[in-house]
Amino acid sequence: MVVTRSAVDDDAAEGAKHADQGRGEEQRGKRGDKKDKKQRGQNTARQFGSSKDALQLCSSVAIYNEFEAKECRFGDKCKFEHNLRKYLSEGKRPDLETFKICPIYEARGKCNAGWKCRLVSTHSEEKEHPDGRKELVLKEDPERIAKLQTLKNADDEELGNEVGNVNVVSAQAKIDLNRRKTKTPKSDAYLEYLNKCWEQDHGKEGGPQPSNTKAKDARDDHRASYISPPLLPSEKRRLYYGPETPVLAPLTTQGNLPFRRLCVSLGAQVTWSEMAMSLPLIQGNKSEWALAKAHESEATPPAFSAKNTVVDNYDNGRDMKFGVQIAGNKPWNVLKATEVLTALCPHLRAIDLNCGCPIDLVYRQGAGSALLDARGKLEKMLRGMVAVSNEVPITVKIRMGVKDNEPTADRLVERVVLGSQDARASGEGPCGVAAITLHGRSRQQRYTRSADWGYISETAALISRLHKQQAELADTANDVDPRHLPNGGKVYFVGNGDCYSHADYHSHMDTHKVDSVMVARGALIKPWVFEEIQANQYLDKSSSERLRYVEDFVRFGLETWGSDEMGVGTTRRFLLEWLSFACRYTPVGLLEHLPPNIQDRAPAFRGRDDLETLMASDNYRDWIKISDMFLGKAPESFKFEPKHKSNAYEAEG
């Protein structure tokens, strides 16, 4: 087998999801006319084809036994198939042979895909009645169904199909958001307060600014205007970060629920959703709300060692692993998104504001890394989020700055930890943010070159000095009101960038004095990096062990997206997205020196067995072969376009 190595575009890892938003079809097609020119760069308008059966089975038949099908409300005008046996013999592809039993049936006692399931043979049979008639029936497991019925949402068909997942928002709630029926009283009150502050500061006719005493009175009046005053930072649920809590980064596209579930099973202690845009959230967008969904394993408490904690009153039993990251360009949409998230999603460790996304479209809208140069607006956003998030802590993720060689994160961190000078003078105090994550790259740098851990170390030292400064002000005229301090006065600091092994992790913890380390691409290339961190040693995984992780991902994917043709297609697509990173892994046993560097690209090599060679290939066709092992041969309509155009692929029947 010949294995080729092509250039890898890691900017695409974050950009693909949002890059084609706002561009018309005409614009998208302009560059595709010249077929004689080799495509390069990032695929910004990728197409994946469709995954559907040759014959579409009517919903009046799909989930019922053969003789119990419902009457179709469309009658003779229905365009879908009603003959079950014809559908099974001619309308759908052969069943998968990967699993002995359908993962959904195994977990829930029945499969909501019914006859459309690609493993329907594992939960169906043909029964012969006393009169000689033979009926195709779907099996059900009464014991598993009984457990399902005891769950809180079992009476809701949509939520009942999400057994094992948390933060599942009902269709009606999303409809209410879309129709602007959902009230956001806390956000409305805070935004009104911001408007009054602006009018007082500027004056409708350019009047003088109010004194600090008046500003404090205005803040107290604002807090009193709530029917139930918002929780102060000190009253929120407390967080903990330590050596035993490695963090899985929010990963666009790849940070989906099945992948996070895989990482949790391998030792990840904190997980984040993919970045969700605030405006689509408050508009009830289904795909955006799907990002807030998590597996029940992510709702369990993270690892905790009492001897390491510096947070008073931290209750590990109330903590959990999963948090949601949002992005927005205006205080109003960020505040409203925070309020509805905390109202509709009960299993949130924290809500993180993304101030580091380098994607051009997000940046041009004033969100993501654009907020690094809008410190005043960012402070308003964070204070507002703290005011409306109930007991859920607020965190923020930033980059070093917008431009290379012009880092600004130190000034931003000081403002976030202490508050602006005006806020301190008026007694408003710190922003109330519970944790800050710093990615050691600038926006201009994107994902090129190594992360600057020297700068991260300097920022960690700065935060330590700021904590001491606050402590020294205790019992003085400038003492900060302890009610405005999260985590008993401790703002956690997490470093992010190029962590690829336990050696990197512990080096950053010991040398750079961060509270924890966030792992991004390192987890995509080898998810067992969390196992290495726990074991504090390199783990030379065999090809068969790595293939089992692929099998686990497929199982989790089918449980998440469904076991019908569409669910199988979605699982295949996201599996291939992950394999486009996993193929970069070079086994520890083949390396000349340690620790490995995530920026290194090994030349083509032959593995210790054929499977290892196959899994090391960056040829998209080999990724397809791996997916075929678990999901069967890809249908003719299936397309896969890697994020790098030089690897573009379209299935050949």
Which residues participate in catalysis according to the annotation? 357
Q: How far apart are CA 185 and CA 270, in angstroms?
A: 31
Provide the token pair at 583.
């193929």
Helix axes 409-418, 453-472, angle to 10 degrees: 30
Q: What is the largest CA-CA distance in the chain?
A: 94
What are φ and ψ of residue 480, in 5° steps? Answer: -80, 135
Shortest CA distance to 337 belongs to which of 346, 324, 347?
A: 324
* Beta carbons of 283 and 177 less than 8 angstroms apart: yes
Written as six digits, the tokens of 300 are 């369990």
Structure tokens at 601: 């690209």
275: tokens are 């970045």
What CA–CA distance (Å, rounded) separates 276 from 291? 7
- Cβ-based neighbours of 492, under 8 Å, separated by 6 or more: 239, 240, 241, 434, 435, 436, 515, 516
Nearest C-alpha neighbor of 271 from the set 253, 289, 288, 295: 295
What is the distance between the alpha carbons of residues 371 and 58, in angstroms, rounded to a whole number?
49
CA quadruple 180, 181, 182, 188: dihedral sign: positive
Cβ distance 166 to 294 under 8 Å?
A: yes
For 137, the token pair is 């029936």
Cα 635 from chain centroid?
A: 29
d(CA 506, CA 536): 8
Bridge partners of 165, per DSSP, are 295
Return all residues near 546 (Cβ < 8 A) that are at least 6 apart: 582, 585, 615
Cis preceding linkage at 595, omega within 30: yes
Give the separation between CA 259 and CA 265, rounded to whole angstroms.
10
In angstroms, what CA-CA distances link 138 with 109, 111, 127, 606, 629? 11, 9, 10, 47, 26
CB-based contacts of 118: which residues, under 8 Å, 6+ apart?
92, 93, 95, 96, 563, 564, 565, 568, 632
Residues 6+ apart with CB under 8 A from 220: none
Measure the CA–CA gap between 592 and 9, rounded to whole angstroms: 25
Dihedral Cα 539, 545, 551, 555, nearest 10 deg: -60
Determine if the peptide bond prior to 280 is cis (ω within 30°).
no
- Helix boundaries (H) for 301-442: 331-344, 360-364, 375-388, 409-418, 421-425
* Per-position DSSP letters for 479-498, written without gaps between them: PPPGGG-GGGG--EEEEES-
